[in-house]
Amino acid sequence: MEAKKLFVVVGTDARQAAAGRVLERAGYAVGGAEQVALADYILLPLPLDAARTPLAELLRAAKPGAVALGGRLSVQAKTIAQEAGVELVDYFAIGQCTPGIIAVNTATFIGQKYAGIAGGIVATLGMGFPSLVIISILAGLITNFSDLAWVQNAFAGIQVCVCVLIFNAVSKLLKKSVVDKRTAVIFVLVLLGGVFLDLSPVWFVIGAALAGIVLKNWEVRKA
């Protein structure tokens, strides 16, 4: 019988604990940082805090050929991994390059891992294409019945529900995104611009990106 692959999960927060349970159900052996020398795969915390996680010690203790998975990796982390001879994969950067649900992000990551950029594109399209086909068929069917009163009433109710769902999503995103003076300034500027200016949303995105860079540099110089 083939031995189970060992997945070392570094960190003790709820996300790492949940990941460990999922990996165990998937058939992997799961261990802590003390087993890093035997690990086939190493799951690092997200975000990776070098001050709290002895990254250099962990990766240098890993066996050759081990794969370390991390998110929001710094240049320092990548340099340490290269010096230790460990493959360090930034699953967050690869997965977040595509919008949508976690299944799409995961497909992008796995496709890129196994077949490079082309694999990531094909895997992403493969995950989204069936949904596109189903929605297209349903849209065609609904169009044929759009004149019926009960269909119109149903869509009126759905529109209200969608407004509430969007409001809840925006509220949660607002709490996570507007966390300091810099992000608060960007939020206010974009809000005022959206209300009083008739511009494409693309310009607001570009402007917000530039404002984030400028304000962050200003904060660093001021400090």
What pLDDT shows up at residue 161? 93
What pLDDT shows up at residue 201? 87
Only one residue has tokens 């802590």, namely 32
What pLDDT shows up at residue 128? 84
Candidates 3.40.50.720, 3.40.50.300, 3.40.50.2300, 2.102.10.10; CATH matching 6-95: 3.40.50.720
What pLDDT shows up at residue 49? 59
The mean pLDDT of the chain is 82
Only one residue has tokens 């799961």, namely 30
What pLDDT shows up at residue 47? 67
What pLDDT shows up at residue 151? 79
Query: Please, where in the chain does CATH 3.40.50.720 lie?
Result: 6-95
Report the distance separating Cα 77 and Cα 84, nearest Å.
11
- Provide CB contacts within 8 A for 159, sequence distance 6+: none
What pLDDT shows up at residue 103? 72
Report the distance separating Cα 42 and Cα 36, nearest Å.
7
Report the distance separating Cα 149 and Cα 153, nearest Å.
6
Q: Over the Cα atoms of the chain, what is R_g?
A: 23
Q: Which residues of 14-27 are buried (b: 16+ CB within 10 A; e: fewer)?
A: eebeebbeebeeee
Asked whether 187 and 211 are in contact (CB, 8 A), the reply is no
pTM assigned to the model: 0.51
Question: What is the 3-class SS of the chain, one letter each residue?
Answer: CCCCCEEEECCCCHHHHHHHHHHHHCCCEEECHHHHHHCCEEECCCCCCCCCCCHHHHHHHCCCCCEEEECCCCHHHHHHHHHHCCEEEEHHHHHCCCCCCHHHHHHHHHHHHHHHHHHHHHHHHHHHHHHHHHHHHHHHHHHHCCCCHHHHHHHHHHHHHHHHHHHHHHHHHHHHHCCCHHHHHHHHHHHHHHHHCCCCHHHHHHHHHHHHHHHHHHHHHHC
pLDDT-flagged residues of the chain (< 50): none
What pLDDT shows up at residue 164? 92
Residue 38, Cβ density class (10 Å: 0-12 exposed, 13-18 middle, ≥19 buried): middle
